[in-house]
Structure 1
């Protein structure tokens, strides 16, 4: 899911201001040379119930939390807590698709019609590349679903959605542009189709392929593809959506609505490990990693085949993705050489858009003077490891 937050914030801003207590920094006030704790506190002050982060450089690891894990309590956010990672799932699925390309079982120029005959109108003109880089023009199924605080949204909390029915909802609408490949328009429908194609090629669900090709080999112990299971196992902050009067605890939900483009559950440490392995060439050969880093539209969006990038204030480009899973938002980016990484996750309270303050946190994490991380003092919620 991508930037669902903005529509929710617009609809519920007045409610959210009164629903959440002022942000509280987890742990005692201490000097932090890198300024990261202060930046994370800023994120919570602007628009989050709680936040957690892990930053890595060549000298060490900084982990921090801010805010609270649950509204109405003083319970600290677990520093190794798990969360729904939203659209970061797309990078995992894109990696699996490209591994199948590397193995000769798929080609980027294969058409949707070739693998899912009769499913997509004019599917002969839409390729896997178009799906991966959001240049297909297919309507986003997310826009066909009720959103909080609509009662219909809550009524669907435990509903199991199939990829086929979500796809049909999207395809009942005309394309956002034509022909395919001529423009960029982010659409979760693209990854619903990719998930179905992976299953058609391998004979196994896309979630199982992500587990056996990425999660298990990299030993990502805090990461899973939950399928239809509503639970987040292990320590985690609670997640909320706007209700009619107060924030509604929506931590437990059937994640099938997020589907192949957004169901992943993970941790800050696991996401840093994944992107280090991906950019380090441990999951894909160089030529396919180069494809991932190539924008679908020349001179256009900074998005390739399931991978995004951004340029920091110090001129360093970082690669990764961000995710919006309604109750959780996350960002995970790494330098190309993997020497500096940052992952931050938060539980939004919908008072304001935290993007700018998160951008400042990411910028400081990447552009801090060398060795600043290792100078950060340790505390129960802010620690350095060798």
Structure 2
């Protein structure tokens, strides 16, 4: 069912990711009680400072698993019901018939039909997902913009629907998770950030994980570089960025060690109970930002690896930073990895992202560790 850890092969696979074009990559791989950490490349292109496996990093939508777990805890305590409408709880944010049709469950598994707000908040991304018609200007313009989450929600709710409530495939949307954050505030009387920190991050004993208040990453970290499909050349440093454009939908800072610890505890039934975990692992097809159909549950993504079992976890990206964390169903094999560049694929004459050696190097590493 599993292959033993082979440090030389693992390091060689990381080195290949760096050679393919990622400035820096780092990981932690666990197999039973065995542990391997590795890194390749640089944390700073200008200085050549090396990347190390203990660095803190923006992990993007892996945050959604933390937020989903916090919501499931409120379901366990009777404060929320998965199949009650969002209109019952937040009638002013999702009014009328749509609010009555969209349930809490549909928000968590992205089958609400609510549109992504980002192309409306960032004007130069208005044509997304037609990436050839987008420009990265809005990224610079909003480096230090403090977005109001209620205004972002309104943009997503007022946009044309992308699906029928409960219909599949679902469409991945940050609007769903900002609404879940408002739900957490409603039933706990505190901010979503404080709720997730107290009930999930601290409960799991994650010492290097936080939902940031400022625009920088504290402690040892890598600079992060955004290429936006070759339109930013050289890739631009977005290490200093106000993350209110996603909040507790994708702003988490963590380490690969903390991510492995979190998913190990979650899948062992120690963050939410076993019945809640079963709900999280009930998947539906969802179309990701990249246009791929994935098997998505309540904040968990499922991957089947032929001959090596089923893995659960999440991946994520923000401007310049990417991460993934996957744990096998039996808990015996898991890995978390982080990279410090995003959207490296250039576009062909039809505006489609072209294959890049980075894609193959990352896939080879994922196959090896899983």
Query: Which category of TM-score, normalised to the shorter sequence, fits these structures?
Result: 0.7 to 0.9
1:98 aligns with 2:81: no
> Which whole-Å CA distance do the structure 2 matches of 1:292 and 1:349 have between them?
28
Change in Cα spacing, 1:345 to 1:155, as seen in structure 2 (3 Å) is same
* TM-score computed with the length of structure 1 as normaliser: 0.82
| Cross-structure match for 1:14 | none
Give deviations 1:138-191, integer Å, cap 9, x for gaps. Answer: 101123223585333212110111111111222232111124334311111110
In 2, are the aligned partners of 1:320 and 1:333 still within 8 Å (CA)?
A: yes
Aligned residue pair count: 334
> Which whole-Å CA distance do the structure 2 matches of 1:152 and 1:291 have between them?
38
- Structure 1 residue matching 2:27: 3-state secondary structure: strand
Change in Cα spacing, 1:318 to 1:34, as seen in structure 2 (3 Å) is farther
Q: How far is the alpha carbon of 1:350 from its aligned partner?
A: 4.4
Larger RCO of the pair (alpha carbons < 8 Å, separation 6+): 1
Change in Cα spacing, 1:45 to 1:349, as seen in structure 2 (3 Å) is farther
| Cross-structure match for 1:295 | 283
> Which whole-Å CA distance do the structure 2 matches of 1:99 and 1:34 have between them?
41
> Which whole-Å CA distance do the structure 2 matches of 1:96 and 1:356 have between them?
35
Change in Cα spacing, 1:99 to 1:82, as seen in structure 2 (3 Å) is same
Change in Cα spacing, 1:198 to 1:33, as seen in structure 2 (3 Å) is closer
> Which whole-Å CA distance do the structure 2 matches of 1:136 and 1:179 have between them?
4
1:191 aligns with 2:177: yes
Give deviations 1:86-138, integer Å, cap 9, x for gaps. Answer: 00000000000000000111000121111111212411000000000010011
- Structure 1 residue matching 2:340: 3-state secondary structure: strand
Give the one of 203, 213, 233 matched to 2:199. 213
- Structure 1 residue matching 2:83: 3-state secondary structure: coil
Give the one of 325, 330, 344 matched to 1:337. 330
In 2, are the aligned partners of 1:94 and 1:132 still within 8 Å (CA)?
A: yes
> Which whole-Å CA distance do the structure 2 matches of 1:88 and 1:48 have between them?
20
Alignment of 1:106-125 (within 5 A): 106-121=80-95, 122-125=98-101
1:136 aligns with 2:112: yes
In 1, are the aligned partners of 2:28 and 2:257 still within 8 Å (CA)?
A: yes
Moved over 6 A (4+): none
Which ranges in structure 1 are unaligned for 5 or more consecutive residues? Answer: 1-30, 367-386
In 2, are the aligned partners of 1:184 and 1:301 still within 8 Å (CA)?
A: no
- Structure 1 residue matching 2:183: 3-state secondary structure: helix
> Which whole-Å CA distance do the structure 1 matches of 2:306 and 2:362 have between them?
14
Give deviations 1:48-71, integer Å, cap 9, x for gaps. Answer: 110100001124111010110111
Give the one of 193, 202, 211 matched to 2:188. 202
| Cross-structure match for 2:245 | 257
Which ranges in structure 2 are unaligned for 5 or more consecutive residues? Answer: 126-133, 287-292, 346-355
> Which whole-Å CA distance do the structure 1 matches of 2:217 and 2:252 have between them?
10
